Chain A
């Protein structure tokens, strides 16, 4: 069945270092991929979504590239900030009215 996998449950790094959170998917169809971020005591909100025309979405310094060959949509940022500490979900939608989330990755950025 369709699924999305985030390999790391916890990522801890020092401010200023690059960030990469992994996301791979398995789908019979070509899904739309998303990254959602949830800060402490807040609602999850959209960070990025994939485009059909291979454009690279960017927001708040984060970017992700959809690679159909490797079924991946990894989230990257060149330099982590303390305010990036949050829970990050990769998710996919196959236009069936169901946005399915990965297990999430907790990113902790230390000074």
Chain B
């Protein structure tokens, strides 16, 4: 049963455009994440938030910016997309930053043409 909701499911856009992806979790978790899954299925963490505070920021281009309005929401904005941004973006949440299960949404598939 899905408890991490992402919108949109798919998005096709042109190089240079700005896009925003939304994520909401209904599990009451404190920690949320954005992961990128590329065409080779490599799954890499981009950002992690705990109680609305950024705690992990991997080496991600500046055009990517996460936005958290409250513990249940974590959005992702990409200012000026490039072809290599084409991927599936997975939002996830967990009870805390320690050894707890991470729950994933179904992802947003971005195609940059």
> Looking at chain A, what size class is its interface with the partner chain?
20 to 34
- The verdict on A96 contacting B97 (CB below 8 Å), with A42-B106, A87-B41, A89-B43 known, is yes
Contact with B along A74-109 (1 / 0, CB 8 A): 000000000000010100010111111101101000
Instruction: Pick from A95, A98, A104: contact of B48, CB below 8 A.
Output: A98
Residues of A within 8 A of B (CB): 32, 41-46, 49, 87, 89, 93, 95-101, 103-104, 106
- The reply to whether A44 and B90 form a contact with Cβ atoms under 8 Å apart is yes
Query: Which chain A residue lies CB-closest to B102?
Result: A99
In whole angstroms, what is the CA distance A51 to B105 when docked?
A: 25
- Which residues B84-113 have CB closer than 8 A to chain A? 90, 94, 97-99, 101-107
Show 15 residue pairs from A and B whose CB-CB distance is below 8 angstroms, ordered by the A residue.
Answer: A32-B99, A43-B2, A43-B104, A43-B107, A44-B43, A44-B90, A45-B103, A46-B102, A49-B101, A87-B41, A95-B97, A97-B97, A98-B45, A99-B94, A104-B42
Residues of B within 8 A of A96 (CB): 56, 97
Within the complex, the shortest CB–CB distance from A73 to chain B, in Å, comes to: 13
Q: What are the nearest 8 A-B pairs in CB distance?
A: A97-B97, A43-B104, A32-B99, A101-B43, A97-B55, A97-B48, A46-B101, A95-B98
In whole angstroms, what is the CA distance A41 to B44 when docked?
A: 18
